[in-house]
Amino acid sequence: MELHKLYSSLAIRSDRKIVVLLIDGLGGLSHRDYGYKTELEYAKHPNLDRLASCGATGLLTPVLPGVTPGSGPAHLALFGLDPISFQIGRGVLEALGIGIVPEPTDVLARGNFCTVDAQGAIVDRRAGRISTHISEELLALLRNIHVPGSDIELHAVQDHRFVLRLKGTGLDGDIANTDPGMVGTKPKRAKALTPRAETTAEIVNAFVDQSFDRLKDQSNGNALVLRGFSMLPAIPSLQELYGLRSAALAPYPMYKGLARVVGMNILDCGNTFPDQLRALERHWEKYDYFFIHYKYTDSCGEDGDFLSKVNHIETLDSSIGPLVRLDPAVLAVTGDHSTPAALKSHSWHPVPLLLVAPTCRRDGSTAFTETVCATGALGHMESKYLMGLLLAHALRLEKFGA
Amino acid sequence: MELHKLYSSLAIRSDRKIVVLLIDGLGGLSHRDYGYKTELEYAKHPNLDRLASCGATGLLTPVLPGVTPGSGPAHLALFGLDPISFQIGRGVLEALGIGIVPEPTDVLARGNFCTVDAQGAIVDRRAGRISTHISEELLALLRNIHVPGSDIELHAVQDHRFVLRLKGTGLDGDIANTDPGMVGTKPKRAKALTPRAETTAEIVNAFVDQSFDRLKDQSNGNALVLRGFSMLPAIPSLQELYGLRSAALAPYPMYKGLARVVGMNILDCGNTFPDQLRALERHWEKYDYFFIHYKYTDSCGEDGDFLSKVNHIETLDSSIGPLVRLDPAVLAVTGDHSTPAALKSHSWHPVPLLLVAPTCRRDGSTAFTETVCATGALGHMESKYLMGLLLAHALRLEKFGA
């Protein structure tokens, strides 16, 4: 039985509230410039440490040992879905990242404007990284292209990148990239990878043909390539599965989008952590499950800026009071994945998890760090099990079997 | 998705080298004659301890909790294959143990010479444990037996044991043992367990009939029984899966054979650990992944010789310098399974794992023992995940999902 269906079959009503504070890219790596400590070990976070001392800790493996997750699988796992069964393609994720939540019948792709020579061969796959503004102008040239069988939407992302969204019935996203991934060759024709995607591939090719015609005299990008054709998988909502009225406090579009995918309401929450907590207070009575997304730790990790990541952990810690005072029945503090400054990227390393609830078996953790979590009583588990743990600690799961 | 296919789908090229030092039967058991320490806890191994202090530790469960593995599944798991999906039968393993790597189209069985009475009933299943030399003489009587549909090879193993190898096309190993497993009954006819094995069973029976005819007047074994009919499963190579140029430094035929099964090159490496490390140095530039097999710890465990196992651990530790100086990007020190002297056999107990890499999250391990590993930051995992961890730490896996 799929995991979420098992948990769903056991779900019962309760008024106990669950809060997940997700510190993006939380996990770090021993850094030789900082005494071989991780960012979380180096940072001072007395409030998180105090929470650890009245809760239990553990480590979450986002997907499987050694596997570095993108944001899509990392979040779906934390929302209780098997990230290998439910995969979100590049086109869909790109759409989520600019605030578009596709219908499950839409086909999405990520587009790049590019530059081709007189023979049609690509000379610059990013059209000189033109500005978003210029991309907007090029997209305006393409917006009234009509192809029977689908409504076509185009949305600028950043620089040379955009999203193509096909809306209609009977569309299928099983289509190979038109981006050949290299210069010196022409953009490929869209090719269906399964027979049921053939009509959609024809629509894409008709759109591309008309686009090339309209772009051919443009100096800032005279062609385009598409990749990551995908559809949003049919994903049940937290309401359907567990009877949870759920809400997200996430300033960034990507995380709003991922929360929408599992049916969360997106709340206005400003841009800072104190803003998010004020919004939490305002909406406290109306929901059972809150997802608070704290982004800045991940960005600093990606930048390789150890001390800035440390600083953002400390800032969060110093502002956490209002959340603690709301006294949720279950509070989980964790990350979607590790983003060690030492690697300047997402990584496979397990992520610290802190769970506080009256129903927790306290494990004597005295701090919230990777090393403490590695020996915490919650043990090491895949992130997809967190949802079951949260529901259980909120007494929202009944007994399995007689 | 099968685990090795998931890892394979993420594999990227890198020049970072991986070394697995496999100490056979490494894990031990608290021994009451030695202060309830394990062999690894009792032994002095300052060099391994020093490695632990700059790496991370954990425990590997070879197959599943409570399951004691044979050498086949224990090694396949360490090479990244699910040991329950990829099973190596007794006949195939017996062949590997004497240096034969079967083709995937061959059928292998383990044979015993036995003694039968005038009615054909077995009176000694091992023919008095005749010497290998006598077995060779008996095999010589059988070598020119011809049965249409297959080439038959016979290879002495040790004492009364031999390997039967059938080569041909369309052969199938799904055949029940002819060995009844008890005295007082006749050897059984080879019986196909599936229709597609019927032709092969007929070939086996034709061979057995002719053999009995030729053996009937021999005093040192006048019959034979066969068991463990099996074929080598189709196993992808480490090159195909991960782009790894891999090599084994393994003095014993069985481990050479298991390494060949996943496509490793077998290097001449002498018989001692220092010899193996000299071979490692010689071949360092030509491979990405090295498997070093250290056998003696397992043999002493099987003999119940606690102190000798301790001694072999200490010997290895004192000779490890050249390996450390080569400074592999990722070094794993572990075992295939536990062989506690207290049990005189393989056991199910998890195996200590030590991983050293600049990409390791250091966990403050101060020694390499079962107890330290049990709380190490790598946690407890099935051995089949080690390959993914090695690849990840060598930065040889790309991100999963967008």
- What is the tens place of the pLDDT at every residue in A56-106? 999 999 999 999 999 999 999 999 999 999 999 999 999 998 999 999 999
Reported as a pLDDT band with limits 50, 70 and 90, residue A377 is: very high
At A167 the three-state DSSP class reads: strand
Q: Inter-chain contact B361–A29, Cβ cutoff 8 Å? A: yes
Q: What residues of B are in contact with residue A73 (Cβ under 8 Å)?
A: 400-401
Structure tokens of B160?
């009364």
At A333 the three-state DSSP class reads: strand
Q: Which of A65, A73, A343 sits opposite B381 (nearest CB)?
A: A65
Contact A155, A89 (CB under 8 A): no
Whole-angstrom distance, CA of residue B20 vs CA of residue B27: 16
Over residues A175-204, the mean pLDDT reads 96
Which residues of chain B from 333 to 392 reach within 8 Å of chain A, CB to CB? 359-364, 375-377, 379-381, 385, 387-392
Q: What is the ipTM of this complex?
A: 0.92
Q: Which of B360, B387, B400 sits opposite A69 (nearest CB)?
A: B400
Q: What is the mean pLDDT of chain B?
A: 96
Q: Is the confidence at residue A389, as pLDDT, over 90?
A: yes
Q: Inter-chain contact B385–A65, Cβ cutoff 8 Å? A: yes
Q: Mutual orientation of helices A132-142 and A198-215 as an angle, nearest 10°?
A: 110
Which residues of chain A from 221 to 250 reach within 8 Å of chain B, CB to CB? 228
Distance from CA of A370 to the nearest CA of B (A): 8
Distance from CA of A286 to the nearest CA of B (A): 32
Distance from CA of A75 to the nearest CA of B (A): 11
At B401 the three-state DSSP class reads: coil
Q: What confidence score (pLDDT) does residue B127 get?
A: 93
Whole-angstrom distance, CA of residue A181 vs CA of residue A228: 12
Q: Inter-chain contact B397–A29, Cβ cutoff 8 Å? A: no
Q: What residues of A are in contact with residue B377 (Cβ under 8 Å)?
A: 59, 350, 370-371, 374
At A273 the three-state DSSP class reads: helix
Q: What are phi and psi of B249, to 5 degrees?
A: -115, 90
**Nearest C-alpha in A relative to B391:** A66
Strand B107-116 relative to strand A107-116, pairing: unpaired
Q: Is the confidence at residue B402, as pLDDT, over 90?
A: no
CB pairs under 8 A between A and B: 98
Q: No. of H helices and E strands in chain B? A: 15, 13
Q: Which of B1, B377, B400 sits opposite A68 (nearest CB)?
A: B400
**Nearest C-alpha in A relative to B381:** A65
Q: Inter-chain contact A67–B6, Cβ cutoff 8 Å? A: yes
Q: Inter-chain contact A94–B402, Cβ cutoff 8 Å? A: yes
**Nearest C-alpha in A relative to B396:** A66
Whole-angstrom distance, CA of residue A28 vs CA of residue A42: 10
Whole-angstrom distance, CA of residue B88 vs CA of residue B73: 7
Q: What residues of A are in contact with residue B2 (Cβ under 8 Å)?
A: none
Q: Which residues of A160-185 are buried (b: 16+ CB within 10 A; e: fewer)?
A: bbbbbbbebeebbbbbbbbbbeeeee
Whole-angstrom distance, CA of residue B268 vs CA of residue B249: 7
Q: What are phi and psi of A353, to 5 degrees?
A: -130, 130
CA nearest to B400, candidates A15, A151, A64: A64
Q: DSSP H helical segments within B191-237, as ranges?
A: 198-215
Q: Is the confidence at residue A245, as pLDDT, over 90?
A: yes
Q: Which of B387, B390, B397 sits opposite A68 (nearest CB)?
A: B397
Contact A4, A317 (CB under 8 A): no
Whole-angstrom distance, CA of residue A175 vs CA of residue A228: 8
Q: What residues of A are in contact with residue B381 (Cβ under 8 Å)?
A: 65, 380
Amino acid at A36: Y
Whole-angstrom distance, CA of residue B250 vs CA of residue B262: 14
pLDDT in tens, A315-341: 999 999 999 999 999 999 999 999 999
Per the DSSP assignment, residues forming a β-bridge with B334 are B22
Whole-angstrom distance, CA of residue A64 vs CA of residue B215: 56
Whole-angstrom distance, CA of residue B293 vs CA of residue B249: 6
Q: What confidence score (pLDDT) does residue A20 get?
A: 98
The burial of B30, by beta-carbon neighbours within 10 Å (0-12 exposed, 13-18 middle, 19 or more buried), is given as middle
Strand A379-382 relative to strand A56-61, pairing: parallel
Q: What residues of B are in contact with residue A349 (Cβ under 8 Å)?
A: 361
Contacts of B50 (CB under 8 A, 6+ apart): none
pLDDT in tens, B153-165: 999 999 999 999 9
Q: Inter-chain contact B361–A38, Cβ cutoff 8 Å? A: yes
Whole-angstrom distance, CA of residue A256 vs CA of residue A239: 17
Amino acid at B16: R
Look up the pTM and report it. 0.93
Over residues B192-216, the mean pLDDT reads 97
Place of tokens 């296919």: B5
Q: What confidence score (pLDDT) does residue B289 get?
A: 98
- Poorest-pLDDT segment among A127-131, B133-137, B332-336, B351-355: A127-131
Q: Alpha carbon of B233 to those of A57, B42, B263: distances in Å?
A: 42, 40, 13
Place of tokens 């949870």: A244
User: Does residue A90 sit at the B interface (CB-CB below 8 Å)?
Assistant: yes
Q: Is the confidence at residue B39, as pLDDT, over 90?
A: yes
Structure tokens of B15?
């020049």
Strand A289-294 relative to strand A246-249, pairing: parallel
Q: Which of A88, A346, A371 sits opposite B377 (nearest CB)?
A: A371
Q: No. of H helices and E strands in chain A? A: 15, 13
Which residues of chain B from 3 to 62 reach within 8 Å of chain A, CB to CB? 3, 6-7, 10
Q: Which residue spans within B148-261 are E strands per DSSP? A: 151-156, 161-167, 223-230, 246-249
The burial of A123, by beta-carbon neighbours within 10 Å (0-12 exposed, 13-18 middle, 19 or more buried), is given as middle
Q: Please state, for a pLDDT cut of 90, what percent of chain A lies above it.
A: 98
Whole-angstrom distance, CA of residue A345 vs CA of residue A348: 10
Contact B216, B187 (CB under 8 A): no
Contact A341, A38 (CB under 8 A): no
Whole-angstrom distance, CA of residue A44 vs CA of residue A26: 14
Structure tokens of A72?
């899509």
Q: Inter-chain contact A94–B391, Cβ cutoff 8 Å? A: no
Q: Which of A90, A349, A375 sits opposite B402 (nearest CB)?
A: A90
Whole-angstrom distance, CA of residue A372 vs CA of residue A378: 11
Q: What confidence score (pLDDT) does residue B22 get?
A: 98
Q: Is the confidence at residue B32, as pLDDT, over 90?
A: yes
The burial of A243, by beta-carbon neighbours within 10 Å (0-12 exposed, 13-18 middle, 19 or more buried), is given as middle
Q: Inter-chain contact B360–A30, Cβ cutoff 8 Å? A: yes
Q: What confidence score (pLDDT) does residue A122 get?
A: 96
Contact A64, A367 (CB under 8 A): no
CA nearest to B402, candidates A108, A292, A115, A103: A108
Distance from CA of B10 to the nearest CA of A (A): 8
Whole-angstrom distance, CA of residue B318 vs CA of residue B322: 10
Over residues A137-151, the mean pLDDT reads 95
**Nearest C-alpha in B relative to A73:** B401
Q: Mutual orientation of helices B253-261 and B71-78 as an angle, nearest 10°?
A: 50
Q: Is the confidence at residue B236, as pLDDT, over 90?
A: yes
Q: Is the confidence at residue A190, as pLDDT, over 90?
A: yes
Q: Is the confidence at residue A137, as pLDDT, over 90?
A: yes
Per the DSSP assignment, residues forming a β-bridge with A342 are none
Q: What residues of A are in contact with residue B359 (Cβ under 8 Å)?
A: 29, 342-343, 347
Q: What residues of B are in contact with residue A227 (Cβ under 8 Å)?
A: none
CA nearest to B373, candidates B342, B334, B324: B334
Contact B223, B115 (CB under 8 A): yes
Whole-angstrom distance, CA of residue B13 vs CA of residue A335: 29
Q: Inter-chain contact A69–B401, Cβ cutoff 8 Å? A: yes
Ramachandran region of residue B118, left (φ > 0), alpha (ψ -120 to 50) or beta?
Answer: alpha
Q: Inter-chain contact B389–A66, Cβ cutoff 8 Å? A: yes
Q: Inter-chain contact B10–A67, Cβ cutoff 8 Å? A: yes
Q: What is the dihedral of CA B372, B376, B379, B385, to 10 degrees?
A: -90
Reported as a pLDDT band with limits 50, 70 and 90, residue B218 is: very high
Q: DSSP H helical segments within B153-195, as ranges?
A: none
